Each structure stands twice: as structure tokens, then as C-alpha cells.
A = this chain, B = another copy of it.
Amino acid sequence: MILMVWLAAVAASLLALAWAFRFYRQMMEADEGTELMKEIATHVREGADAYLSQQNRLVTITFLVLAVLLGIASYYLHLLNGFVPIAFLTGGLFSGLCGWFGMKTATQASSRTAAAARVSLNQGLQVAFRSGAVMGLTVVGMGLLYVTIWFAILYWAWPALMGAERAYSLEQISVAMLSFGMGASAQALFARVGGGIFTKAADVGADLVGKVEESMNEDSPNNPATIADNVGDNVGDVAGMGADLYESYCGSILAAAALGVAAFAAPQMVPEGMEGTEAQLATMMLPLAIAAAGIIASIIGIYAVRTGEDASQKSLLKALSRGINLAAVLMILMAMGLVYWLMPLVPGTEYFGGLSGVAFSVIVGLAAGWLIGKWTEYVTSDEYKPTQRLAKQAETGPATIIIGGIADGMMSVWVPVIVVCVAMTASFGFATGGQFGDISLFSLGLYGVGIAAVGMLSTLGITLATDAYGPIADNAGGNAEMARLEETVRARTDALDSLGNTTAATGKGFAIGSAALTALALLAAYVEGVRDGFERWGVAAVQTIDTDGFYKLSPGFMVHRDGDNATGYLVQPMIARDPLLTESWRDVSFSDGPAKLSEGVIAAGENGQFHFAVNGDALLPVASATLQEFTYFYDTTLMNPKVLIGLFLGAMATFVFCAMTMKAVGNAAEKMVVEVRRQLTENPKIKTGEAKPDYKRPIQISTSEAQRQMLMPSLLGLALPVFVGLLLGVGGVLGLLAGCLTSGFCVAIFMANAGGSWDNAKKYYESGHLGGKGSPGHKAAVVGDTVGDPFKDTSGPSLNILIKLMSMVSVVVAGLVVRYSLHSLGLF
């Protein structure tokens, strides 16, 4: 069965890649337009290539440094699975490749979309949307392929090569694979932050001088920063988004798989007539199976996006929605079947006499993503009241539209928060059959949350396509403008662009909602990383020991050496506090390495369990400790000052990260403004089109600024969990992650929605409302849009990744924190 699912997943991922290639070829065969159009597209392509190769150089160096650090941790300190450094690099590579393929496609597609739009709106849509689908299918194909390959290496290849006795346990495999996600997250953060700075510096620079000071049109070829602006759309919105969603997709699958293994670790959970590992393998495979089914659903959905040649914009929107909805319905049906087939049935959690409630968790996930998307559309689209009201506020000047946009953005947080909370409760509740109070089902409930995230992202193939085609249409518009094509072409690409904005809102809803649920799942998965860390510590410790016995390694941890076996045991703080254990346990010093406990301190019970002889208190084996027992061990309650400090630091990290990225955009934009002004002053003929501006220099400025400024925020995400872990231990890290998740989620939505609403309020003027283009209100709205640019395209979307990167880093360094935090050293 496992092999079957695995093969199906591999087949689905290859299918996705094959279809992506097919759509790519179709797009390449389309008419590329006039010579001028080709030339402009080449400019943009070269700029984007130049940026990406520059970024890749920097990222490669950073990755190599990090891989060396991970290598030391793996091979020298034995804190990590030996595959982690390699997988970290491959994770980053795959993620980068997704962005690169997407960008390649997008830069080829823009002139072709413009050319197709000369024929009809539908032709334009087909080229743009299919090109977006290349990205969508590449991301899911590569993501699923990556996960399946690593599973095969760890589960089949490794024991086949090294002998069955060195086989990894499923727990080890799932935790190791989870830590592989760190590479993808780090790459995604670099891509999002770097791309975000690039695109917004170019955009703000182009707008402030070109549009505001010189009253040029959007995408005017006389604006020296125009090409940079178009390059920015590709490196930020396309390449950055590709890496971002690759990370989300893999992260959700890996987190759910790890939680599935954890849920069935306790023998009493395993249904009768089943082996424990059998149940674990099944729950580990379920997310892969759902992802595979999602690929099929997405491809079918993509084909449903078609209309007649003379289609109106409205019918195009319908066509897009039809595709997404069809994929979702198919997904729900397939998910029911897959859950029925794969999911081990725990008594009390079945519905309709045999279907595990986990099936409904998938539906909850899909519904939650859809709801957040609709809400995003409502609060940001200029077809609805909120943005129209905001646009009206611009009439009293820039100050009022800024205040209004910030207030609207902050207010818009409530629906997504409620949806995520309800989705969390519902997916948890369905998975446990509504038995919220039954602690033995707790891990199963968390698995339900993880599966909900997988469900939400399962149709990413098509939702990402609707998201990614927006920048393509945007660039097509730029191409049409610069190539001085007929007005109707520009009108059509604008229609496509605005259509893209609407559907992109749904896509963003899925991305942001899944980030919250995945981060929640990762919070639980982190505890699995902690367990793995303890086990490695035990194994490492017994290698320095010659005689059998019990050895104290820290105030709450001992290892039992029994020949070649090392078994770790936790001593809960409330047990360690017993005055009877003062001499035999608490006062035993471990500062010179593992300290052997005196004979007779530990006794074996009838059931083979060990306990303290003096008072009969049982030792807690690390391998079977529940999630809750770990939370008690580290006292991760809200009353623990370490947890509270962690929460504070997590909230702080959100704000500091946003500040860093916004400042980066501000600094880069300032240099861009200076450069554009310089060109226009030194050669005023550029303004009239008599002389050609130097397009390259603005691209260079954006590139070098983006590179210089993206390092610090990314390092914040990488370093903070390590520092907090070493200073405050596991409790502090959990606080940090929870704080960053809750604050970060709210800030991300606030920024995305405020930015989106300002953008559309400006467009509302530009489509002729309230005095139209050039009115004082429009000028104020442009200020709002400029403020919103870094909100919605740099800081906001990067926050999603920051949250998950911190979780991933925490999982990876769990072994370090378990062993060397001040808490483990008995200092704090």
C-alpha cells in the first residue's frame, strides 16, 4: 500500500512537471509580437536574469556557510541527522529552481500575452493563464517530487545500502524530513525579501519621479526606471512567490506527516489488527496522497478555464472561478476516498460508520482558505464599499487616506483570525470525533490541523496559476505601453491585470491561511524535534561510557546504557522535587560529563518499567513521552516567565522584521529617485522620447540594494530561534514561535490588506471615479498606494515565511537547545 501511494505521488508530481512543460512549450510557440516588443521583453528578461544570478551567488554563499554549520552540528556534535546539511542545500536548490522556472516563463510570456491580446481578450487570457499554470504546476510537482525522493532515500535506500540494523525509525525520518524544509524556507525568505526590495524600490522610484514629478504615464518608455519596474514584477511577484509557495506547500506536507507519525506513536492509539508502524506509515502517506490528488484536480481545473472568443471580462472571471471551484470539488471527493482508504480508524473518531473525521479536516482547510480569500477580495477590491469609502477619504488629502487605510487594514484582521481559530478548532474536533477533552486523542487532533493545511494548499496548482498570471498580465501591459501598441491592447491587458488582482486575492488567502495552520502544526512538530534531540543526546552520551547503568546528563534527563542500547528517560520536575531524591538524584553533579547513579537508585518494575526505588516514581521514557508530558517537562505554561519572554520576543521580531524590510525599501527607493532625477536632468531629451534613457543603471541599483539589505532580516529569522533556544530553552522557543505566529499573522494581514486597498483606491480614481486621474484626490491616493507598496509586496508576504522559517530553524536546532541551553546546563 505504501509503495502504491508513493508511486502514485511520484507519478502525480511527474505529471505536474510534464504538464508544466507542455504549457511552457505551448506558450513559447505563441506569437512573440513585433520586433520592438521582442526587444523590450529581452531587456526585461536580461534584467531579471542578471538579478537572479546575482542573488543566487549571494544565497549560495550563505547556504554554504549554513551548510558547514549544520555539518559541524551533524558530523561533529552529532546533534542532527547526517542528511540534514545535504537536504538543506537541495531544499534551497529546489525552491530556487521553482522561482527561476516561474520567472523564465513569465519573462517569455509577457510579450506573447500582449501579442495575443491584440487578437482578443480570451487569447490574452489563455496565454497568460497557461503561463501562470506553468508556475503553479512546477511548484507542486517539484514540491511533491522532493518529498517523495527524500522519503525513498531515508526509508528504502538507506537501509538497503547500510543494512537493516541502521534503518531509521519513522519518527527519525519524519523529523529529519521536516528539517529539510528549512532550506526551502530560507531560500523563500531570501527570494521574497530580496525580490520585494528590488521591485518596490524600482516601483516607488519610477512612480515618485516619473509619475508624480514629471507626470509621465505608467510604464512610459521615457522613464529610466520603467524596465527596472517590470523586472521587479518578475523577480518579486513571480520568482519570490514561487519560492514562497514551494516552501508553504512542502512545509504543510512535511508537518502533517511528522504529526501523523507522532499521533500513532502511542500503542493504545493503533487500531486493533494493525501494526504501529503500519498506522504511522499510513498517516505519513496520507498528506502525500492528498497532494497527489490535488495535482490531478488542479490540471482538470486548469482545462476548465476557457470561454468563447468574444468573452466579456465578467465571463472570464466566471471561467477562472469555475476552474478553481471544480478543482476544489474534485479534491473534496478524492480526499474522502483517500482518507477512507488510508486513515487508520481510531474508535470514536469515525463518521458515517467508517469514515475518519480527518476527511472533514481536509474540507475545513479548503473552506477556510476560500473564506479568507473572499474576505480579502471584499476588503481590497474597488468593487466593494470598503475600498470605495477609502478612495473617498483621499479627497481630504493624503493624511486622511493614510489614517483610513491603516485603520481599515487593522480592522480587516478580525475575519481571518476568526476563520483560522474556527478552522483550527473544527479540524481538530473532526479528527478527534469531537472529544476535545480526551488527552489521548490530542496528537490526532493536531494531525487534523496539519491535514487541514495540506487540504488548503492541495489545489495550489490552479490557485497559484490564478495568482501568478497577474504579474504576467501586468508586464504584458508594460510591454504594450512601451511598444506603443494600440489603446485596445492596453485596455485588454489592464482588464486581465484587474481580473488577476481579484483572483490573486483568493490565492493570497490560501497562502496566508495555510501559513497559520502550518505554523501551528510546526509548533507541535517542534516537540518531535525535541524528542529526537534527547534520543541523539542519549546515544552520543553512551559512546563516552564503558559500563552499563543509569547516567545523569542534566537536571531532568538520564540515559540507561545496556550493552549497545541507549534509552533516554525524563524526570519530570515535580518528581525531581521530592525531598527523598535529593541525594540520589538532585545533588548528583553532571558537570564533568555523564554521572553514574549509584546502584539501586533505579529499580525495574514488574512491567519492565523503571522507577526510583525510594518512592516508586516512574521514569518517563523519551521515546513514548506524550506531547503533553513534554510541555509539563518544560513547563510551557503561560505563567512561566521564559514562555512569556518568548512571546514578547516573538511579537517584537514581527515588528523589527517589518521595520527592517520597509527601511530597506525606503533606502533603495531613495537611491533610485536620485538616479532617475539625475538622468532626466542631465539629458532632458529623455523626457520627450528623443533620447533613450539608461535602463541598466536603475536595474543595477535595485539589484545591489536588494542584495545588501536582504541579509539582516533573513539573519534575524535564522538566528533568533537559536539565541532564544540557548538562553531560554524549549519553553522560550515555543513562546517565541507562538508570539511570532499570532502577532505576525495579524500584522501580515493588516499590511497586505491595507496595501491592497490603497492600490485599488488609486485604481478606482484612475478608472474615472471621484474626479478621476489628476484630481487632488487621485494625488492623495497615489501617496497611499506608494505607502502600501512595501506593505503588501515586501513586508507583509515575507512575514508568512518568517513565521515558518523560525519554526523550521527551531526544529533543526532542537538537538542543540535540548543539550546546551542554560536550562539543560542547570543554570536558568
Residues of A within 8 A of B (CB): 204, 208, 212, 393, 396-400, 402-404, 406-411, 413-414, 417-418, 420-421, 424-425, 428, 436-437, 439-440, 442, 445-446, 449, 520, 523-524, 527, 555, 573-574, 577, 627-628, 631-632, 635-639, 641, 643-645, 647-652, 654-656, 658-660, 662-663, 665-666, 669-670, 673, 734-735, 738-739, 742-743, 745-746, 750, 782-783, 786-787, 790, 826, 828
Q: Which B residues are CB-close (under 8 A) to A654?
A: 746
For residue A659, which residues in chain B have a CB less than 8 angstroms away from its CB? 407-411, 413
Which residues from B are CB-within-8-Å of A425?
641, 645
Chain B residues with CB under 8 Å of A628's CB are 635, 637, 639
B contact residues around A417 at 8 Å (CB)? 648-649, 651-652
A410 B208 Cβ-Cβ under 8 A:
no
Residue of B nearest to A399 (CB): B786
Q: Is the CB of B573 within 8 A of A439?
A: yes
Additional A-B contact list (11), CB under 8 Å, known A632-B637, A644-B742: A393-B670, A399-B783, A408-B663, A413-B659, A414-B655, A420-B648, A439-B573, A628-B639, A636-B638, A652-B746, A739-B742
In the complex, what residues of B have CB within 8 A of residue A397's CB?
208, 212, 783
Q: Contact between A524 and B743 (Cβ–Cβ < 8 Å)?
A: no
Contact across chains for A648 and B421 when beta carbons are under 8 A apart: yes
CB pair B787 A402 closer than 8 Å: yes
- Residues of B near A446 (CB, < 8 A) are 639
Q: Is the CB of B403 within 8 A of A402?
A: no
Neighbouring B residues of A662 by C-beta, 8 Å = 403, 406-407, 410
Given A638-B636, A673-B396, decide whether A787 and B403 contact each other with a Cβ distance below 8 A.
Answer: yes
Cα–Cα, bound, A656→B746 (Å): 10
Alpha-carbon distance between A743 and B647 when the two chains are bound, in angstroms? 9
Chain B residues lying within 8 Å of A655, measured Cβ to Cβ, are 410-411, 413-414, 746, 750
- Contact of A638 with B734 in the complex, beta carbons under 8 Å: yes
In the complex, A407→B440 CA distance in Å? Answer: 46
Closest Cβ–Cβ distance, residue A114 to chain B (whole Å): 30
Chain B residues with CB below 8 A from A574, complex form: 439
Q: A421 and B208: CB pair below 8 A?
A: no
Distance (whole angstroms) from the CB of A581 to the closest CB of chain B:
14
Q: Given A631-B637, A738-B647, A652 and B402 touching (CB < 8 A)?
A: no
Interface centre among A425, A523, A574, A648 (most CB of B within 10 A): A648
Q: How far is the CA of A236 from the CA of B265 in the complex (A)?
A: 59
**Which chain B residues lie closer than 8 Å to A437 at the CB level?**
555, 573, 826, 828
User: When A and B form their complex, which 6 residue pairs have the shortest distance between CB atoms, in order from nearest?
Assistant: A411-B659, A399-B786, A410-B659, A407-B662, A631-B637, A417-B652
Please determine whether B644 and A738 come into contact, CB atoms closer than 8 angstroms: yes
Contacts of A439 in B (CB 8 A): 573-574, 577
Minimum CB–CB distance for A799 against chain B, Å: 12
Partner pick for A637 among B411, B420, B555, B637, CB 8 A cutoff: B637
A407 & B208 in contact (Cβ 8 Å cutoff): no
B520-A644 in contact (CB<8A)? yes
Listed A/B pairs (17) with beta-carbon separation below 8 Å: A398-B783, A403-B662, A404-B666, A406-B662, A410-B656, A411-B659, A414-B652, A414-B655, A424-B641, A446-B639, A523-B644, A524-B639, A628-B635, A631-B638, A638-B643, A651-B746, A739-B742
Question: Is the Cβ of A413 less than 8 Å from the Cβ of B652?
Answer: yes
- Report chain B residues within 8 Å CB of A406: 662, 787
A657 closest partner in B (C-beta): B410
A738: which of B638, B649, B658 is its contact (CB, 8 Å)? B638
- Out of B398, B445, B638, which one reaches A523, CB within 8 Å? B638
B residues less than 8 Å from A673 (CB atoms): 396
Residues of B within 8 A of A442 (CB): 639
Complex: A437 Cα to B825 Cα, angstroms: 12
CB distance from A133 to the nearest CB of B (A): 34
> Which B residues touch A826, using CB under 8 A?
437
Please state if B638 and A735 are interface contacts (CB–CB under 8 Å). Answer: yes
Indicate if the CB atoms of B656 and A411 lie closer than 8 Å.
Answer: yes
> How distant is the Cα of A635 from the Cα of B637 in the complex, in angstroms?
8
List chain B residues, Cβ under 8 A from A428.
Answer: 641
Q: Across the interface, which residues of B come within 8 angstroms of A656, CB to CB? A: 410-411, 413-414
> When chains A and B are docked, how far (Å) is the Cα of A399 from the Cα of B784?
7
Partner among B408, B527, B650, B750 whose Cβ is within 8 Å of the Cβ of A742: B650
Shortest distance between the CB of A611 and any CB in chain B (Å): 15
Whether the pair B639, A407 counts as a contact (CB closer than 8 A) is no
Question: Which chain B residue shows the least CB distance to A393?
Answer: B666
The answer to whether residues A639 and B411 also contact, given A396-B208, A651-B742 and a CB cut-off of 8 A, is no
A50 to chain B, nearest CB (A): 27
The distance from the CB of A241 to the nearest CB of chain B, in whole angstroms, is 22
Kindly name the residue among A399, A413, A673, A783 whose own CB sees the greatest number of chain B CB atoms within 10 A: A399
- Residue of B at shortest CB range from A828? B436
Q: Return the contact of A400 from the options B408, B445, B645, B669 (Cβ within 8 A).
A: B669
Q: Contact check, A644 vs B411: say whether CB atoms are below 8 A apart.
A: no
Assess whether A670 is in contact with B746, with CB atoms less than 8 Å apart: no
Alpha-carbon separation in the docked complex, A406 to B784 (Å):
13
Q: Report which residue of A418, A527, A652, A787 has the largest number of chain B beta carbons within 10 angstroms of its beta carbon.
A: A652
- A632 vs B573: C-alpha distance when bound (angstroms): 13
Contact A208 B399 (CB under 8 A): yes
Closest to A412 in B: B659
The winner among A396, A413, A639, A658 for most chain B CB atoms within 10 A is: A639
Write the nearest CB–CB distance from A710 to chain B, whole angstroms. Answer: 15
Check A527 against B743 for contact (C-beta < 8 Å).
no
